[in-house]
Structure 1
Amino acid sequence: MTVTESRPPFPPFTRETAIAKVRVAEDGWNGRDPARVSLAYTPDSRWRNRSEFLIGREQIVAFLTRKWAVELDYRLIKELWAFEVDRIAVRFAYEWHDVQGRWFRSYGNENWAFDGSGLMRERHASINDVAIEAADRLFHWNASGPRPVDYPSLNDFGL
């Protein structure tokens, strides 16, 4: 297997490896590089993101390219909700603004299923957007990079 064909940690997950898998996913999405992010998914990965259905890395790259072209200064926090052998459920929130400068916080849940090499084969996401004032933002680390290790979690923020 090449580096792009596997993504540790691998199933079966423990609490610790599930938490690590969630953090790796968060860090990847905060990097906002669609091609790089797509490599964490199987070549035929199946997604439901809100009301959009995607199959495969090519569609994932196109989707993420569109997403991050309109969700500017995107910053994401994910937290483990539950896990089992090869599945992980997360809750998350992310903040972003549109081209008019209006800020939003998006809340959601994702259900993930992995293959034996740690690549995500299914992703089901339900997401709601809430308009917020710029002064109400909570996620203030450097743009286009991982959340600092000591930065507060969703629980810390009461979200």
Structure 2
Amino acid sequence: MTIAIETRPPFPPFTRETAIQKVRMAEDGWNNCDPEKVALAYTVDSEWRNRNAFINGRAEIVEFLTRKWAKEHEYRLIKELWAFDGNRIAVRFAYEWHDDAGQWWRSYGNENWAFDENGLMQKRYASINDLAINESDRLFYWPQGRRPDAHQGLSALGL
């Protein structure tokens, strides 16, 4: 019996180009808001810290993301590479969303990632802060899903 090994290229050690590719792939996955698909980018025993939540394994990732996107409506995310070395990548990000009451938010944060040799994320540590914004202050306008290539990134938006 052959066991299929899960892989998610590009693989470490990362170059600047492959680190940027990995960041964009993560952004694209999260912008599609599909917890089951997003979870496949992580090892089966992946460890997360997201704000004050400690999440272990794909099943908990799916549960967490399902709750997250049930609360954070019209979610749109931009990630940007901050640093990389070997199998590690650091990113900064911002995302916009609104709650059930219609209040818009911009959430800012940083993530530290560590990958296994097959390109799956083993560890994810996220620190996030939320800022209430007026709907007129939104900057992330594109149809739900992948951010268009022509849409500005965080640095170009002054974030």
Percent identity of equivalent pairs: 68
Whether 1:157 aligns to 2:150 is: no
CA shift for structure 1 position 113: 0.1
Which runs of structure 2 are paired with 1:13-52 in the superposition (5 Å)? 13-52=14-53
* TM-score calculated relative to the size of structure 2: 0.97
Matched with 2:121 is: 120
Matched with 2:62 is: 61
Which runs of structure 2 are paired with 1:103-114 in the superposition (5 Å)? 103-114=104-115
Q: Deviations over 1:81-102 (max 9, x none)?
A: 0000000000000000001110
Matched with 2:148 is: 148
Matched residue type, 2:90: A
| Cα distance between partner residues in 1 of 2:124 and 2:105 | 23
Alignment size in residue pairs: 157
Alpha-carbon RMSD across the aligned residues, in angstroms, is 1.0
Query: Residue 156 of structure 1: SS of its match in structure 2?
Result: coil
* TM-score calculated relative to the size of structure 1: 0.97
Matched with 2:85 is: 84
Matched with 2:133 is: 132
| Cα distance between partner residues in 1 of 2:8 and 2:33 | 18
| Cα distance between partner residues in 2 of 1:121 and 1:23 | 18
Would you tell me which structure has more helix in proportion to its own residues?
1
Q: Deviations over 1:126-159 (max 9, x none)?
A: 000000000000000001x100011101001100
CA shift for structure 1 position 2: 4.8
Whether 1:6 aligns to 2:24 is: no
CA shift for structure 1 position 21: 0.2
Structure 1 gaps, min length 5: none
Query: Residue 48 of structure 2: SS of its match in structure 1?
Result: strand
